[in-house]
Amino acid sequence: MALSKMDIPRTAQHFLECSIEECERNCEFYCNPCHQRLCKQCRDEHLKSPENKKHEVVLYQLRKLQLPVEKCKIHPTKDVDMFCEECQVPLCSKCVTQQNHLGHIFTDLETIFAEKYAAFEQEIFKIQEYFLPTSQDLQKEIKKDSSEIQHIMDNIRTSMKTKGESLKSLVDTVVSENMKQLDQIEHSLLEDLNIQDKTMDDYITYLNNLVKELRICLFSTEPHKLMSEKKPKIRSIPETTKPVIPGFTAGQNSKSDVTKLLGKIFVPNTKPEKRNLRPIESVYNKAMKPTHKQMKDLEDRKKSDKKQTMSLSASVTVREFSVPGVDHAYHVSQDQSDRLWISDDDGNLVQTDLQGNVIHNIKTNGESEGYHTVTQETDLTFTDKDKKVINRITQDNNITEFIKTGDWAPLSIHSSHINGDLLVGMLKFTEAKGLFKMRRNKKESKVTRYNKTGKELQNIRRDNKGQELYRLPHYITENINGDICTSDYRKGVVVVNKSGQHRFSYAGQESVFRPYGICTDVLGHILVCDQYDNTVHLLDQDGQFLSLLLTQEQGVKYPRSVCVDDENNFYVGQWLINTLTVYKYLQ
């Protein structure tokens, strides 16, 4: 069945007009039975008619596509509009009455067409929203890895050359010093031999002279003189010494000895890790048909000619309420739109409504950290750092050990609103008897990502220079772009992207910054409590400081927790009191 692009527009055009004659207003609605485009006024008139009262009129974006016209080959005057499930062929209404189709099951062809069209549209959507961008991101990552490898290899080459030149310089220095020492020894030996040679030369001259004198006496013409001469006493031969010749012990160096000095190339015996893929489930919700609430929101937006935008404004107090069952408000998790979970530093965890009425409470091992979160399935999940497990409470109040974390103590936790992954700040320490002892005895820190089933997907510990990213990741959240934002009591606010690469850190506006609760909003802002300065800081998603949302002058003292709800209200909990204050800062 051939389809024309003109027959079935994929989406509403910017100025698609109402199809009622003489009406030039923009189309907003669509009547599925009549296949008519309608403005709001024409829709109301259309539904007033008794014969149209039961017509299904929907937003234009949610229209049922009209079946393209195709004539029946057996009955050319009839349009094909049915489908025989047993024969798997399209039919017209007259074909249905034929003998060879009696008793068969028939389906409205328009329904099948709409389902098929929607299915193919969904596949296109998945390709455009997931497969293409994910593949492009992987390709960028591959190219980046290639560039990084070249950079790393160049650094290794430079290091090898530097080490080799250094060793050559040392060899030249040692050879030069040996040569100098040899020259000095040679000079000293030759000088000593020259002195001995001069001594012997003088002695030989003495002997020759003595021989001459004695011969004169022997051959004298006066013999009595010989008789009167005393026998000469010959001087002893001067003492001389043989030189001590220096030796040379040649070094016995092998190739392995030189390798030890210069270093060597090694390839880690590690299996290459598979690149992380964004779960395809993350695009399913976008591709699904809008919910009733989404349809209502879309219709409400259509009523306004102007696009709704949000902007920052001064923080205004909306209300406040006390929470029985906790001494302080150290951490707040939104459960449903009308419920919250609040915890103190003594393990008390309480569920309340927005008026502070207690719905449920449990006793945990949690202290002054963001140790609980609510999943997409509205299950409460919380950490137990003493037992090194992550627990989950389902809607029927059953507590189960969901994840065992081995040697690592889970401290903070957040359930991703993007894909349902769990982000967990963890420590490895010698004793698990309280936060202060943990800080004193801790060995290492990291952030770990788990999927919905509890499978470990990712560990984040160091930046690209090999430096430790975290020391005490006691609160954690996720931004709208997938960044993992961690409030670290010792390191400030540490932000990495979804791949775990360090993006930026924020150390406050004063010399001392002690961050506690952290969350993000619909615009990608980062909100973080500074207990030391009695303020709540507002950052953009690139770490730029925007403003102080709250200060001590506005009544906040020792802020410990912060949470933003679906209506862009933000809740602030404080130390020493069990009151939650609700503010509005987005308009």
Residue 97's pLDDT is 82
Residue 290's pLDDT is 46
pLDDT band at 292 (very low <50, low <70, confident <90, very high): very low
pLDDT band at 331 (very low <50, low <70, confident <90, very high): very high
The CB density around residue 158, as the number of other CB atoms within 10 Å, is 10
Q: Tokens at residue 568, please?
A: 């862009």
Residue 347's pLDDT is 92
Are 445 and 468 within 8 A, CB to CB? yes
Residue 412's pLDDT is 96
pLDDT in tens, 127-150: 888 888 889 988 998 999 899 899
The CB density around residue 364, as the number of other CB atoms within 10 Å, is 18
Residue 83, pLDDT > 50, answer yes
Residue 313's pLDDT is 64
What is the CA angle 409-411-416, rounded to 5? 120
Residue 425, pLDDT > 90, answer yes
Residue 214, pLDDT > 70, answer yes
H helices, E strands: number in the chain: 8, 30
Q: Which residues contact 365 (CB under 8 A, 6 or more apart)?
A: 347, 384, 385, 386, 387
Residue 423's pLDDT is 97
What is the CA angle 268-273-274, rounded to 5? 155
Residue 380's pLDDT is 93
Are 82 and 130 within 8 A, CB to CB? no
At residue 233, φ and ψ (nearest 5 deg) are -100, 115
pLDDT band at 74 (very low <50, low <70, confident <90, very high): confident
Alpha-carbon distances, residue 338 vs 317, 356, 492 (angstroms): 18, 11, 32
Residue 188, pLDDT > 70, answer yes
Residue 455, pLDDT > 50, answer yes
Residue 221's pLDDT is 67
Residues in the chain: 587
Average pLDDT over residues 326-346: 90
Average pLDDT, the chain: 83
If one compares 86 and 416, the residue with the highest pLDDT of the two is 416
The CB density around residue 581, as the number of other CB atoms within 10 Å, is 21
**Up-side HSE of residue 49: CA atoms within 13 Å toward CB?**
7
Are 84 and 91 within 8 A, CB to CB? yes
Share of the chain above pLDDT 90, in %: 37
Are 27 and 5 within 8 A, CB to CB? no
Are 370 and 409 within 8 A, CB to CB? no
Are 357 and 340 within 8 A, CB to CB? no
Residue 297, pLDDT > 50, answer no
Of 556, 587, 523, which is closest to residue 320 (Cα–Cα)?
556
pLDDT in tens, 228-274: 777 788 889 999 999 888 888 877 778 888 888 787 777 777 788 88
